[in-house]
Amino acid sequence: MTRRFCTSLITVATVAAVTAILRVPISAQTSSAANQGSAKSSRTPDGQPDLQGVWTFATATPLERPKELGDKAFLTEQEAADFEKQVVDRQDVDRREGTEGTDADVGRAYNQFWWDRGTKVVGTRRTSLIVDPPDGKIPAMTPAAEKR
């Protein structure tokens, strides 16, 4: 293909995309759900829950309950604050004691930018993200699953 043809093709595609974007009305949320005063979730045209959007799973709450918490399902406000502080301190690789003047953590510190681990526990202050079984642990595999 010639350079002129490629340039023309890119220009036409760009104009078509901009035109399509400008013709589509942009709206956030229909006001019908707000007017109803209920917490109904939005639905897709075929009636399924609408799960579109940006989801984040960044939380300081571990997947499994730590052994030191035993059967404790929820943290108190003070315990949650202390746990959050410990998590932030543990994840801050830029502030490692005893590594001043060395490049021991330089690569690790730089790459921390890409991780979104979270610094707060979940709103219910649960000790694990696993809620069933009640012990907050991933259940053991069944014999059939182990065999597979």
Q: What is the pLDDT of residues 42-84, one digit of tens each?
A: 899 999 999 888 888 889 999 999 999 989 999 999 999 999 9
Q: Where are the alpha helices (DSSP H) in 27-130?
A: 31-36, 77-91, 106-111
Helix (H) or strand (E) holding 17: helix 3-23
Name the pTM for this structure.
Answer: 0.53
Q: How far apart are CA 130 and CA 29, in angstroms?
A: 32
Q: What is the pLDDT of residues 87-99, one digit of tens each?
A: 888 877 666 565 5
